[in-house]
Chains A and B, each alone.
Chain A
Amino acid sequence: MSAATLIHVVVSGLATGSIYALMALALVIIYNATRTLNFAQGEMLMVSTFVAWAVQRSLGWPLPATLIVAVVAAGVMAWAIERVLIRRAVAATHWDVLIITVGLSLVLRSLAGLVWTHDEFAFPSFFGTRPVAIGPVRLAPVSLGIIGASLSLMALLYALFRWTRLGRAMRAVAQNERAARLMGISVERVYATSWVLAAVVGAVAGVLVAPVVFLSSKMGLIVINGFTAAVLGGFGSMPGAVVGGMLLGVIENLAPLYLPSGIRYSVPFLVLIAILVVRPAGLLGRVEQRKV
């Protein structure tokens, strides 16, 4: 395999990895605030992308406007879900919320199928199809665009968490909910914001990935890769989610290149299990000290 091919395959993997990383970030944002997993994250992404597509198709809006539609739709949906279903259940065991989101994922997928059928649809892309040649290396604008857009979004998130009042409140809740509440932070508002923020990140990921994997009710299954990525990097760690996502994307692409077909698809999961055994908290995660 030539070096140029290798670079192309790795860059493709990084592009897929960026999407996984965004999914993982969305999961981690919610996890940090409420200590629960949102199984329906992928379906929320799917629904917001479908809404954007439907608006684009019926009103003929330009693509950037579509992105805004997706983001707004995701935000509204997440706010409503958090308010109606999740908030009252958070007090119960976190398995309860997990099962609610499992149920929610079934409901959303099924509804999307009823409204838009279970067919696959082409989704317009921000980026061209003509490969960019840098010497012998040919890179797809789609891959570069996805990586670039994802990195920008991650930078924005970093800024939000680092320098804004809201971000500090969210970090405080993640560290110690009770202390945060005593400091006068509205924990409920942090819950709601986390859901909305996660859905927005998911919506961007959805619009970016839909032209590649096509728009369909199955699209939400990508959340499983997001889980894997988040655990690889260390659940709860945002840089970990990014590293985990990228790593997963690259491994997924390199395994078919070098390994026989029998085991290649197990590789990401075997790596996951191996990392968990060596570093139970993931690559960049910290082991939480549990107090009695």
Chain B
Amino acid sequence: MTARGGLLAASAAAVAVWPWVAPRYFVFLASLIFVNVVVALGLNLLSGYTNQLSFGHAGFLAIGAYTAALVAIHAPRVPVVVTLLVAGAVTAVVGLAFGVPCLRLGGLYLTMATLAFGFVITEAILSLDALTHGADGLRVPAVRVAGLGALGDTGRYYLTALTAVVMVAAAVNVVRTRTGRAFLAIRESEIAAQASGVPVAAYKTLAFVLSAFYTGVAGGLFAFVVGFLSPDAFDVFLSVDFVVMIIVGGLGSVPGSIVGAAIVTVLHDSLAAFQNYRPLIFGLVLIACMRFMPGGIAAATRRISMRLAVSLVVALVVLGGATAEAQQGVSDSEIVIGCSNSFSGPLAYTGEQATRYGVDLYVKVVNDAGGINGRKVRTVYYDDGYKPQEAVANTRKLVEQDKIFAVIAPQGTPPVMATLEYLEENRVPLLFPFQGSPVIRGKKYVFSGMTLYDRQSKMMIDYLVGERKFKTFGVLYQDDDYGKAFLTAYEKDLARHNLKIAAAEPVKRGVTDVSAQIAKLRAAGPQVTFLVLTPGPGAQALKERQKVGWTETMMVSSGPLTDEKYLGLAGDAAEGVEGLSLWPDPLTSDLPGVKAYRAAMQKYFDKNEPNRYSLSGYVAAMLFAEAAKRAGRTLTRETLIGALENVRGFDSGILPPLTIGADHETQKQGFWVRVEKGRFKALTDWLKSD
């Protein structure tokens, strides 16, 4: 047997026995690696072999993933192999339709076109919401195989591994044939290839279709491994990650694609623990790779840096594994809780405040006072950058490696939704997520945090229609799950009063200008305009209204928007704005609990300004500590749930007395505020939403 054959046999054996020797989480991680290997192969066939760099492969992955998910939902009896082939074929057709016109584009232009393609696909997923459930996300049913039933972690692992092996073998064969040589000739010089009789256009198209097919199949696997899809999963940074995989691994190399995919996947996973340092370290690694290892790992195999890279991967895996612990999160001296949250990406500020300056703030208070029934609380957080697939990976790592007792205060509907089923299955409590979509109702192990959006809408409409006698309403909403959940709730609550929304205008996340939306709303002339936005765009809307001098409408902010940050950004344009407030003012409120919160902040994090996000995390930790204390020394997940369900009239000193029943809802109220001289002034007491 040759050395090469020996290596192959050893790898095959390792792949085959992995699920039986590795911890559960590493089986999952390996499945993710196989998915990424297939994408990297596909991208490398296009970029490495024909020199057409694509920044749109997250788009192809999305097409494959949604196709597979839809097949699995609507035709559950189709065998999984067929589903994957359909996913690949549909993506290949899209690749063909997109690739043919792009043939005329060279180098940079093609890259830009693929970047645009990625954006179009995310928009398409959002707007085809009848099919894709838009921003709410789509739950993917478990894979069923005849004779085996629904596949678990091990089953999914073998599915991805087998698919990856087949795809690798196919790729190796393709690149060795006439086609592969034609690809390489095109990479070296299109003109020379053309002159030597290679039909360049045909082969470039073929590369595009082949690449799309690979990525589509990977998308199908992705859907089954992650179990939840939402447009946030497939942003441009995912495409960048794929490019990084093949460049680190080596352009135009099959083994390079495999190594690159493995390194990037493992790196991402290990870095999640570094929270807001994660992108920093990832960026530095990229720069270092390029400066010291141009041509990727494949080109460096004969150099010392290869050994360095391999030892790096091994070190990272060990580092990841070393955090493993024995208990289910409760030992004689310690309780471990944690969550996956945004420490990078669009909601990084909120995530960091809610966890490191919110939950941790109260944890410090509790620990310094002797802990909970003699046990100290320890927290673990991982960064998901608001991507559902990373939230799934992080949550599994928390449960399976860190053995946390409960998940506390994760953020955002798509990332929370993606982990819901897994947590229920594994009976891990999910406590007080920072999101208000009602989709989390009716779960045995889930307790809501902020007042759910439908309750907020009910209070807002009942107050405005009932007490203030307003009749016409417009909505300016963020084009995602948060905005749409409010929109639906407003429609429903207005219908109860026999009223309708006069105009509703969506605003895209990260938009630079809202003048057109304001102009359209103004044309409809509503008495009240609801703002369901985040602080930046919310303040932009107020400024735009001031710019055009639209005074005939009253702007009203949704619960999540009503905060000091948004006032500060809008300046004098915020005067007279009203809104539903879910929290007392963290900076000025005289409530005893808020004063204690400010004092604690002063004591432990004196550089951090008090704000609503950290206050919400602080309350979450306070509630957890209260329930854990009541559950007593024999703290288990079941006794914790029992204790939480029996919370009656708990006074946090911050919120009105909290009663949690079988409905698992903690906050149910809010109060009305108006902005006067740059501060919120309460107009009502706590409103009721029952």
Contact = CB atoms under 8 A, between A and B. Distances in A.
B244 A99 contact: yes
A24 to B, nearest CB: 12
A206 B315 CA distance: 41
A103 B349 contact: no
A138 B516 contact: no
Contacts of B290: 89, 92, 96-97, 99-100, 103
Interface residues of A, number: 82
Interface in A106-159: 106-107, 109-111, 113-114, 117-122, 129, 131, 138, 140, 142
B512 A269 contact: no
A167 interface: no
A216 B512 CA distance: 13
A241 B289 CA distance: 32
Contacts of B111: 37
Contact of A110 (B117, B344, B523, B535): B344
A214 B127 contact: no
Contacts of B546: 129
A129 B505 CA distance: 24
Interface in B462-516: 479, 505-506, 508, 510, 512-513, 515-516
A47 to B, nearest CB: 13
Given A9-B515, A13-B513, A261-B506, A277 B104 contact: yes
B512 A217 contact: no
A100 B285 CA distance: 10
A129 B573 contact: yes
Nearest to B543: A129
B276 interface: yes
A195 interface: no
Interface stretch (B392-400, B563-571, B587-595): B563-571
B525 interface: no
A269 to B, nearest CB: 4
> Which of A96, A99, A213 has the most C-beta atoms of chain B within 10 angstroms of its own C-beta?
A99
A238 B348 CA distance: 36
Interface residues of B, number: 79
Interface in B315-354: 344, 346, 348-349, 352
A165 interface: no
A225 B512 CA distance: 10
A219 to B, nearest CB: 10
B284 A235 contact: no
B280 A111 contact: yes
Contact of B539 (A99, A214, A290): A214
A273 B150 CA distance: 42
A76 interface: no
B517 A256 contact: yes
B279 interface: yes
B243 interface: yes
Contacts of A276: 101-102, 104-105, 109, 112-113
A126 B348 CA distance: 29
A89 B506 contact: no
Interface stretch (B118-126, B218-226, B662-670): B118-126
A80 interface: no
A181 to B, nearest CB: 23
A253 B522 CA distance: 15
Contacts of B236: 224
DSSP class of B's interface residues: helix, strand, loop or mixed? helix
B191 A222 contact: no
DSSP class of A's interface residues: helix, strand, loop or mixed? helix
Given A235-B109, A256-B505, A256-B520, A140 B120 contact: no
Contacts of A261: 127, 479, 505-506
A105 B516 contact: no
Contact of B286 (A5, A106, A216): A106
Interface in A203-255: 209, 212-214, 216-218, 221-222, 224-225, 227-228, 231, 235, 249, 252-255
Contacts of A78: none
Contacts of B367: none
Contacts of A272: 112-113, 116
A29 interface: no
A59 interface: no
> Which of B53, B112, B247 has the most C-beta atoms of chain A within 10 angstroms of its own C-beta?
B112
Interface string B195-235: 10000000000000000000000000000000000000000
Contacts of A89: 290-291, 294
B74 interface: no
B22 interface: no
Contact of B115 (A16, A93, A224, A257): A224
A263 interface: yes
A88 B283 contact: no
A131 B510 contact: no
B240 interface: yes
Contacts of B106: 280
Contact of A120 (B244, B515, B565): B565
A184 interface: no
Contact of B119 (A85, A99, A269): A269
B282 interface: yes
Contacts of B282: 103, 106
B123 A263 contact: yes
B192 A231 contact: no
A263 B284 contact: no
B510 A100 contact: no
A99 B287 CA distance: 7
A84 B116 CA distance: 31
Contacts of A93: 294
A262 interface: yes
Contacts of A100: 286-287, 290-291
Nearest to B107: A94
A253 B112 contact: no
Given A107-B283, A120-B569, A262-B127, A5 B523 contact: yes
A98 B112 CA distance: 13
B247 A221 contact: no
B189 interface: yes
Contacts of B277: 110, 114
A292 interface: yes
List the 4 shortest-distance A-B pairs measured between CB atoms, nearest first: A103-B286, A106-B283, A110-B280, A107-B283
Interface of A: 1, 5, 8-9, 12-13, 15-16, 19, 31, 37, 85, 88-89, 92-93, 95-100, 102-107, 109-111, 113-114, 117-122, 129, 131, 138, 140, 142, 209, 212-214, 216-218, 221-222, 224-225, 227-228, 231, 235, 249, 252-257, 261-263, 265-266, 269-270, 272-273, 276-277, 280-282, 290, 292
20 contacts: A12-B515, A93-B294, A95-B247, A96-B290, A99-B290, A106-B279, A118-B276, A118-B344, A118-B348, A120-B349, A120-B565, A218-B346, A231-B109, A252-B513, A253-B516, A263-B123, A266-B124, A266-B127, A269-B116, A292-B191
Interface of B: 53, 101-102, 104-106, 108-109, 111-113, 115-117, 119-120, 123-124, 127, 189, 191-192, 195, 236, 240, 243-244, 247, 251, 276-280, 282-287, 289-291, 294-295, 344, 346, 348-349, 352, 479, 505-506, 508, 510, 512-513, 515-517, 519-520, 522-523, 535-536, 539-540, 543, 546-549, 565, 568-569, 571-573
Given A129-B546, A280-B109, 9 more contacts: A5-B519, A89-B291, A103-B285, A131-B547, A140-B547, A140-B548, A213-B536, A227-B115, A261-B479
